[in-house]
Structure 1
Amino acid sequence: MKRRVDLDAARGLMLVLMALTHLPTRFSGPAGQPFGFVSAAEGFVMLSAYMAGMVYTSRALKDGIPAMRTAFLLRALKIYGCQAALLLFLFTFIAVLGLTFDRDEVKGLMGFFLQEPLTAFIGSLLLLYNPPLLDILPIYIVFMLVSPLLLAHGVSRGWFAVLGGSLLLWLLAQFDLGDRLYAAGIALSGLTTVPPKAYGSFEIFGWQFLWVLGLWMGSSAAQKPDAERRFPRAVVLLALVYALTAFVWRQAVGQVPFGDNGALNLLFDKWHVGPLRLFNFFALLVLAMHYGPRLLDRLPRLTWLEVMGSASLPVFCAHLVLVLLALVQFGAPKPDRPFAVDVLIVIGSFAALYAVALISQRLDRYAAAVKERWSRRQRRRRSRPNANAMR
């Protein structure tokens, strides 16, 4: 299947924003939610789901549902391997350096691990304990494992029930469905191995709606690639007004829309994907889909973003490694830190990320070439008995 360079560039942009947000520099604040009360994480999840829906639907239509399931499983195992490697790096190298230099920021990331190292280590491998910054890949793994069922149902029976069930779960997530299920599980089993706050910041039942929506959109694009997707003018206008309002509001008041009013802030809550936050995301999505093709025709191609987006998993993992190393070396962002130091951190980090993307791209090409040579050999071997029989 031909790569969509526009989607790669969009994922590359999300990776850039996430890296700027996570790196401990004075640029992390302005880079957080720059377009309104929506972060790069929502866009990255949606784009990843869209790519998955498009690629794996094509695989199912070409090779069958079992081949699609196998491909999803292999991808999930790859992501799990990345998560395990990041956890090992955090619990060994970063933990030793963090304790040696007495970095409160680093110790705060692994508070439960420092209290209960064995329980935390086992729990992290079971995806039950997810330290901050390392809590996004676990939900990806769960989504990848569930996606074959959703995709198979959507392709064969339609998406109405899948989308309806996903929307219901999102609604229940606004009332802390995950915490309630955790409490019920503790009451039934009597086990309290990992505290609720150590599970990670993301409410998986809220975020699954973005994934399922992207999966449906990608699958639909694979099944009907030439279908026109237009929004009514009123919808585009409403999206434009909402997005501009949120953008100006964000720039005026900062990343917390209602100050100290916790109840109202829940409407824009990131971890549950609050309703007003979801509408803000939909508004940006409508504008991107409506105006995006025209902008792409007029703007020059940003190949460096495409390269980073095409290697999204290794670049994402590398950015976490760089963030952890920066926290050990420099600590949290400080106003008195020289401006030049923050600039060097950002430049050095992005140079490293781009190098990782290039290396990953070359390795993928090499692996594809090896696979193609192997396939040719197999085809030649299978054709030899037929040739001898004809003689």
Structure 2
Amino acid sequence: MSLADRVAAPAVAGAAADAVAREKAAARAPSISLPVVGERELRLDLFRGLALWLIFIDHLPPSLLTWLTLRNYGFSDATEIFIFISGYTAAFVYGRALLESGVVVATARILRRAWQIYVAHVFLFTIFLAEISYVATSFENPLYSEEMGIMDFLKQPDVTIVQALLLRFRPVNMDVLPLYIVLMLSLPLILVLMRWKPDVTLGLSVLLYAVTWQYDLYFSAYPNGVWAFNPFAWQLLFVFGAWCAQGGAKRMTRILSSPITLWICFAYLLFSFLVTLTWYVPQLSHFMPRRLEQWMYPISKTDLDVLRFAHFLALAAVTVRFLPKDWPYLKSPWLRPLILCGQHSLEIFCLGVFLAFAGHFLLAELSGGTALHFIISISGILIMSAAAWLFSWYKHSADKSGSKAKATGGNADLAGGGA
């Protein structure tokens, strides 16, 4: 061996050792890379399905089972999960379409999806009104109309219908889809900016969020008030999801794998839980420092308070750390109902709104206690799971008939597979 070979050999060995070390570190790091074409990201489906179940339970009157939902243990709830995953999956599907087919085609597909959501919202509004009106009339109980927020429709149906078509009038529990429609309409601009400078795009989103809080920007609602979910504020969570899908999550791998980050997240989740505990146990409220209360409250859901956003980030960081992409239980039949619901989120959300009012009606008329609330909650979840299985069966039947491209193309519900 020559002198040059003797000198180069240790360097090559050292480089090989470094490469092996990097591979081992990458294996230990959170698996948050973008799924490849044709591969599903089942964690997204799982948690979107979980969010739909939690939203359904939260829409029922409070009872024992309601204590299992996220909003009782921290600042954020299932809505943050749903909007983040919607931004992630939409950017995944249509961002890929932007690269493959160009801006015009991608924009057309996005607008088509926004139109589908709008049509679903209109149908949901119409049938929901019919459901409430029928129950209120049949049982001669106008309180149902008042509780569900449709009294203005009964007084001025012509004006109210127009306002509903403009997304300014909505009964109770119908606030998520209008927000989703507005966010989807903004998606072409978001993706174009993401293609240019992803970090700058996220920075502009943060700036809009700050301006919203500073100058009180909002969408007005009919007959008075504002949207329950302010799009100017909630866009931050949607854009953050899109940013993660467009490579941001991969760039955060080192931060998320840091033990310091993990302990900060645990500390904030514990702090959030202790603060939330004072809402339900008044005796503990005197332990809260007055200055801290004055700084924190009110924690606005309408404008996506920064405490809610931070709580979601902490939950997401911990989840990604301890739930790897190849977690074997993701293919367990016990989690299959959740995943199927997540894969057909639009249909299941609409169904959940109907079922929540039906459950509300049964609990009110039968004066049911905890046992009836449990039965209604489980029955609603079973119905949503059965419907999701039916939608999935129909989709697979269509795929077998050679229409896979039509069934999955441009649908953000199917992000991570086939789109």
Work out whether the TM-score is over 0.5: yes
What does the per-residue CA deviation read over 1:327-358, in whole Å, with 9 as the maximum and x for residues that have no partner?
333339x9x63332112211211111011101
CA distance in 2, matches of 1:163, 1:226: 14
* Residue 272 (structure 2) aligns with: 246
CA shift at 1:143, angstroms? 0.7
Change (3 A) 1:82 1:104: same
Change (3 A) 1:86 1:266: farther
CA distance in 1, matches of 2:237, 2:224: 23
* Residue 89 (structure 1) aligns with: 127
CA distance in 1, matches of 2:171, 2:134: 16
The residue type equivalent to 2:201 in the other structure is V
Change (3 A) 1:103 1:207: same
1:233 aligns to 2:259 (yes or no):
yes
The 8 Å contact of residues 130 and 200 in structure 1, kept in 2 or not, is answered as no
The 8 Å contact of residues 258 and 265 in structure 1, kept in 2 or not, is answered as no
What does the per-residue CA deviation read over 1:57-92, in whole Å, with 9 as the maximum and x for residues that have no partner?
122222222222122112111111110011101222
What does the per-residue CA deviation read over 1:6-37, in whole Å, with 9 as the maximum and x for residues that have no partner?
11111111111111111235146412514411
* Residue 387 (structure 2) aligns with: 356
82-91 vs 62-71, which moves further: 62-71
* Residue 353 (structure 2) aligns with: 320
Instruction: Name the count of aligned residue pairs.
Output: 358
* Residue 202 (structure 1) aligns with: 229
1:273 aligns to 2:304 (yes or no):
yes
The 8 Å contact of residues 128 and 194 in structure 1, kept in 2 or not, is answered as yes
Change (3 A) 1:369 1:71: farther
* Aligned pairs (5 A) from 1:268-307: 268-293=299-324, 296=327, 301=332, 302-307=335-340
* Residue 213 (structure 2) aligns with: 174
The 8 Å contact of residues 178 and 204 in structure 1, kept in 2 or not, is answered as no
Change (3 A) 1:363 1:150: same
* Residue 338 (structure 1) aligns with: 369
* Residue 366 (structure 1) aligns with: 397
* Runs of at least 4 residues off by over 6 Å: 224-227, 255-259
Change (3 A) 1:265 1:12: same
Greater gyration radius: 2
1:135 aligns to 2:161 (yes or no):
no
Query: Residue 217 of structure 2: SS of its match in structure 1?
Result: helix
Query: Residue 178 of structure 1: SS of its match in structure 2?
Result: coil
1:17 aligns to 2:43 (yes or no):
no
The 8 Å contact of residues 22 and 28 in structure 1, kept in 2 or not, is answered as no
CA distance in 2, matches of 1:117, 1:263: 43
What does the per-residue CA deviation read over 1:181-216, in whole Å, with 9 as the maximum and x for residues that have no partner?
75xxxxxxxxxx93332x531122111110011111
1:4 aligns to 2:44 (yes or no):
no
* Residue 344 (structure 2) aligns with: 311
* Residue 60 (structure 1) aligns with: 98
What does the per-residue CA deviation read over 1:123-159, in whole Å, with 9 as the maximum and x for residues that have no partner?
111112122211110110111111011102211x112
Change (3 A) 1:107 1:84: same
21-30 vs 281-290, which moves further: 21-30
Query: Residue 243 of structure 2: SS of its match in structure 1?
Result: helix
Structure 1 segments unaligned to the other structure (5+ residues): 183-192, 376-391
* Residue 164 (structure 1) aligns with: 203
The 8 Å contact of residues 106 and 328 in structure 1, kept in 2 or not, is answered as no
Structure 2 segments unaligned to the other structure (5+ residues): 1-37, 407-419
CA distance in 2, matches of 1:359, 1:26: 30
247-256 vs 127-136, which moves further: 247-256
Identity score, percent: 25
CA distance in 1, matches of 2:231, 2:294: 21
Change (3 A) 1:79 1:255: farther
* Aligned pairs (5 A) from 1:177-196: 177-179=216-218, 182=220, 194-196=222-224
* Residue 378 (structure 1) aligns with: none
CA distance in 1, matches of 2:45, 2:117: 18
The residue type equivalent to 2:172 in the other structure is P
What does the per-residue CA deviation read over 1:251-277, in whole Å, with 9 as the maximum and x for residues that have no partner?
453399979x99656452212111222
The residue type equivalent to 2:155 in the other structure is Q
